[in-house]
Structure formats: C-alpha cells, structure tokens
Amino acid sequence: MTSRQHWSAQIKFQRISPQKLRLSARDLRGARVDEALRTLAGTKSKGAVLLAKALRSALANSGAGADAHGLRVKSLWIDGGPMIKRFRPMSMGRAGQIRKRTSHIRIELGQEA
C-alpha cells in the first residue's frame, strides 16, 4: 500500500433521501470494512446497496483490492443534494409542491490503529 493514511470515495446525486440513507449508515462508522460489507449485504434496502457500492469503491481506491484486512470506515458523510421539484394538483384548484430529494455519499477509509 502507499504511505497515505486514508482513502475516500464519493457518490453524488443519488435519488434517495438523506434521511433514509442515514438509517443504513448509522452502524457503519468505525466498523471494519469486511464487517461493514457483510452488514450491508444482509440489509434489504436501497440505501444499503448504495452504501455498499461506495464502500467497495473506496476499497478499490485504497489499492488493497479484495483484501480489506486492517482497514476501517474512518468517516461517513451523508449530505443532501439538490431537490427535484414537481407540482401536483391539489384540492380547490391549487398546486402542491413535491420535493424529490437527492443525496451525496462520502466515505473515508483508514488504517486500523
């Protein structure tokens, strides 16, 4: 491996609300990478699939390939992206706004201490 101490990956503009993504991300912070991937594989949600994709990307960026030995999830950010705004007809001739939320995922891996 290189002398860098952390490796990161980010996925932007995902069509899922940050609130739903944070439910899947809550248990991953500080976990070992192989345990985190195992946890996400056993979780049945769209957020878990997206987080596993970001985690595998960060693992590939580390140069370790499939070997996740000694790596931990150092930090994990789930931020809100831009909202897609649509309008829907409501009662009495009004229009109600529909906000379709997007998310940005950033994950950072570091060496185990």
Give domain status of residue 45, yes or no.
yes
Confidence class of residue 90 from pLDDT cuts 50, 70 and 90?
Answer: very high
**pLDDT score at 47:** 95
CATH code at 51?
A: 3.90.470.10
Q: Which residues pair with 71 in a beta bridge?
A: 111
Domain holding 18, by residue range, is 6-111
The predicted model scores a pTM of: 0.87
Q: How many domains does the chain have?
A: 1
Residue bearing the bigger pLDDT, 63 or 19 = 19
**Domain assignment present for 102:** yes
d(C-alpha 33, C-alpha 109), whole Å: 8
Taking only the tens place, the pLDDT of each residue in 31-81 is: 999 999 999 999 999 999 999 999 999 999 987 665 677 899 999 999 999
Plot region of 30 (φ>0 → left; ψ -120 to 50 → alpha; else → beta): left
Q: Is residue 70 part of a domain?
A: yes
Residue 98 lies in a domain: yes
Token reading at 41: 């594989």
Give the percent of the chain with pLDDT over 70. 92
